[in-house]
Amino acid sequence: MENRTARMTILIDPLKKEIFEDICTQQDLTSSQVIRKLMRQYIIDHAGPRELPEWLTGHAARAGNPSK
């Protein structure tokens, strides 16, 4: 299971942040949910030969196939 105890701080352009948060709100998602989803997909796409935990790869498979 994924452990959500680490914190990451990023600096971004204020207008970009405002637009991003507005789009997230329109989709009834928090910005944290979207960032976590983007990070999971980035890890999967760029992990190379690393062995990834099933909870990470299984989540991505379900996200791409809602029938699972």
49 in any annotated domain: yes
Q: What is the pLDDT of residue 1?
A: 65
- What pLDDT was estimated at residue 5? 80
The range of the structural domain enclosing residue 34 comes to 14-64
Q: What's residue 22's pLDDT?
A: 98
pLDDT in tens, the chain (68 residues): 667 788 899 999 999 999 999 999 999 999 999 999 999 999 999 999 999 988 888 754 445 544 33
**Residue 36, in any domain of the structure:** yes
| 26 within some domain | yes
Q: Is residue 39 part of a domain?
A: yes
Task: Note the pLDDT of residue 58.
Answer: 79
Q: Tell me the three-class secondary structure of the chain, residue by residue.
A: CCCCCCCCCCCCCHHHHHHHHHHHHHCCCCHHHHHHHHHHHHHHHHCCCCCCCHHHHHHHHHHHCCCC
